[in-house]
Structure 1
Amino acid sequence: MADLAAYLALLTAWNEKMNLVGPSALAQFWPRHAFDSAQLLSHAPQALTWADLGAGAGFPGVILAILLKQTPGAQVHLVDSLAKRCRFLSEVVQALDLPAQVHNARAESFKLSVDVVTARALAPMTKLLGFAEPYLKRGATGLFLKGQDAPAELELARETWRFEASLTPSLSNPDGHVVEIRGLSRVR
């Protein structure tokens, strides 16, 4: 809890200098962001290596790194294309001594072998699967936090992609979903 509170303090301080999250996001940090991110661990309790694409302000990646801090061998890769967000993420990782690495790179061009690839509020599913393709092709499971339009996004994505998917209702938002993706390939 101390690390989560310290993360919130860093996020609040940095948010005054640069717009990492909207003002309402700070007010809803615990139920909307921390809990939303933390629920992913219950979907992959044995996963040690994670890649958070479009890590932004650190949801879900920083939350996952905090929760995995005492887990031997755990590593969270925070991938973001904007240098200013990477500076913030690097500060958080260093200040909290997290098992995480920050990568200033485009999600689809940075190829890692991880257990789970995740993202939150990055892109519609069709585009998100393109970003996640290199990770999923290396055997990762995709766990994506999506909103009420997740079923429609999956249907649209099937025009471009073949995959197995399961939808689980979000624990933090009655309209949200955790989307699990496996076995990704392009429709030919």
Structure 2
Amino acid sequence: MDTPPLPAPPESVRGVCASERLPLLEEYAALLATDGVVRGLIGPREVPRLWDRHIANSAILSTVVPEGITLCDVGSGAGLPGMVVAIVRPDLRVTLVEPLLRRTTFLEEVVESLGLDNVEVVRGRADALHGSRTFDMVTSRAVAPLDRLLEWSMPLVAPEGELLALKGSSVVEEIENARETLEKFTCDEPVVIELGDGVLDSPTYAVRVSWADPSALPLHLIRGKSASSTGSKGKGKRRR
């Protein structure tokens, strides 16, 4: 299948990605623009704006992720934002959770091709990990409205961890619609963060949600095994 040529990485990406990691990010973008299109993971019309619309906001999300943590990307799809964050931030241990086989197959091939030894791909729904795994941070992009996202994601958030979801301009409305679920999970008041101000062409928002009282979490969440002790790594060969 013929696809439009892939533009070079914009300054918004170069500014947050170390020079030694940029070739990996470019290779991932090329895989998205070719295999990703052929497999129906992205549309061919998205290729010319792949950097600006899809990869840049994922890369900029990495700037608000603490160092050395475990991160779970729920509904990772073709790897946005989780794969991008894992490429830009090799200090993180990233678990990509995705239920569809054709997507996890692509993600595993990317891990192998790029030699990402800090990435684990898990095929399944997020709720399959409830009660057995927790993570320092749980991310997502365009997966579901916040109320449903909380149901899937908060049981994966460690007591001192947080949910950090990329959202659009309706994020404030989503928070209001999720009040009942926020109360159900005893969450702290969500915080909206504007990312890439003055760098991206259009604003990108993320909503941050943490536990109001980690000491009062349900027992099955307290017993959730920490990803830092149970998570396996991707088996791709390390690049030299």
Task: For residues 97-146 of structure 1, give each alpha carbon's deviation from its aligned partner in whole angstroms, at most 9, with x where no partner exists.
Answer: 11101000101222422111000000001001111021125442111000
Is the aligned partner of 1:37 residue 2:58? yes
Quote the Cα distance in structure 1 between the aligned partners of 2:175 and 2:166. Answer: 13
The residue type equivalent to 2:139 in the other structure is T
Corresponding pairs, count: 182
* C-alpha distance in 1 between matches for 2:175 and 2:114: 36
> For the Cα contact (< 8 Å) 1:133–1:184, is it kept in 2?
no
Secondary structure of the residue aligned to 1:62 is helix
- Tell me the residue number matched to 2:110: 92
Instruction: Tell me whether 1:166 sits opposite 2:191 in the alignment.
Output: yes
Give the Cα separation in 1 of the matches to 2:206 and 2:68.
16
Equivalent residue in structure 1 for 2:128, among 101, 109, 113: 109
User: Per the alignment, do residues 155 and 52 of structure 1 end up closer, same or farther by CA in structure 2, a change over 3 Å counting?
Assistant: same
Matched, 1:76 2:76: no
Corresponding residue of 2:164: 143
User: Which amino acid is the alignment partner of residue 82 of structure 1?
Assistant: L
The verdict on how the C-alpha distance between 1:184 and 1:10 changes in structure 2, with shifts beyond 3 A counting, is: farther
Cα RMSD, aligned residues only: 1.8
Report the Cα distance in structure 1 between the residues aligned to 2:201 and 2:69, rounded to whole angstroms: 26
The aligned amino acid for 1:87 is T
1:4-49 deviation per Cα after TM superposition (whole angstroms, max 9, x unaligned):
1100111122124311012333221222222201122222232521
In structure 1, the partner of 2:77 is: 56
Q: Which amino acid aligns with 1:18?
A: R
Alpha-carbon distance change, 145 to 123 in structure 1, aligned in 2, over 3 angstroms = same
1:130 alignment partner in structure 2? 151
Q: Deviations over 1:62-96 (max 9, x none)?
A: 10110122x2xx21100001011000000001111
Whether the 8 Å contact between 2:136 and 2:157 is mirrored in structure 1 is no
Return 160-169 or 50-59, whichever deviates more.
160-169
Is the deviation greater in 25-34 or in 55-64?
Answer: 25-34
Q: Secondary structure at the match of 1:103?
A: strand
Report the secondary structure of 1:55's partner residue: coil
Which whole-Å CA distance do the structure 1 matches of 2:30 and 2:212 have between them?
38
CA distance in 1, matches of 2:148, 2:201: 23
Conservation of the 8 A alpha-carbon contact between 2:166 and 2:207: yes
Aligned counterparts of 2:113 and 2:107: Cα–Cα separation in 1: 10
1:14 equivalent among 24, 32, 35: 35
Aligned-pair identity in percent equals 34
Equivalent-residue separation in structure 1 for 2:59 and 2:180 (angstroms) = 31
Greater CA radius of gyration, 1 or 2? 2
Any runs of at least 4 consecutive aligned residues in structure 1 with deviations exceeding 3 A, and if so which? 172-176
Task: State whether residues 51 and 77 of structure 1, in contact with CA within 8 Å, keep that contact through their aligned partners in structure 2.
Answer: yes
